Amino acid sequence: MLRHYRMFAAYNRWANAQVYAAAAELSDLEFRSDRGAFFGSLHRTLNHLLVADRIWMKRFTGTGEAPMSLDAVLFEEFDALAVARKAEDERIIGWTGTLDETSLAANFTYSPVSQPIAITQPLWTALSHLFNHQTHHRGQCHMTLTALGKPSLGLDLIYFLRSEGREWM
C-alpha cells in the first residue's frame, strides 16, 4: 500500500501540473467563467482542491492551515494559486514518504468541516479519499477547459506511468 500511495502522490503532482499549464493559457475572464462545474469556474474549482488538500493534510499531520469552508477562495490570482498548489503537492509527496504500513492501518479520527462530529476510520481509507477527490475535481477542471474550447487533457494514470511515472511500473 505504501508504494501505491506514493505513486498517487506523484501522479497527483503530475496531473495538477497538466491542469495548471492549461489554465495558464486562459484569459482571466475564461479562468473565472462559470461553466457548470460543481464550484462553477476553474478558478473556484482549483481553489477548492487546494482547500480540501489543506484540510486533509492538517488532519493527517496536525500542521498547516485548514480553511473552515469548502468553497473558500484562498487565492484570487492564478499565479499565487499555482505557487501554493506546487507547494501543497510537494507537501503531500513528503508526507506520504514518512508513512509506514502500521500508520496506514491505524485508526484516524477527525471532524468534517460540514458537520461537527467525530469520525474514526483507518488512515488508508481517508488517504484513498484524498486522491480520489483530486481526480474527481480534476475531471471537472477538464470539463471546464473543454467547455471553453480548449484542447482535451490526457490525465489518465496510465499516461503518467508511461511518461514521468515510469519508476512506478
Choose among 168, 155, 7, 9: nearest CA to 88.
9
Query: What is the C-alpha separation between 13 and 28, in angstroms, rounded?
Result: 23
Return all residues near 151 (Cβ < 8 A) that are at least 6 apart. 22, 145
Q: What number of residues does the chain have?
A: 169
Q: Is 142 annotated as a binding residue?
A: no
Annotated ligand binding at 48? The verdict is: yes
- Specify binding-site residues for a divalent metal cation: 48, 133, 137
- Specify binding-site residues: 48, 133, 137
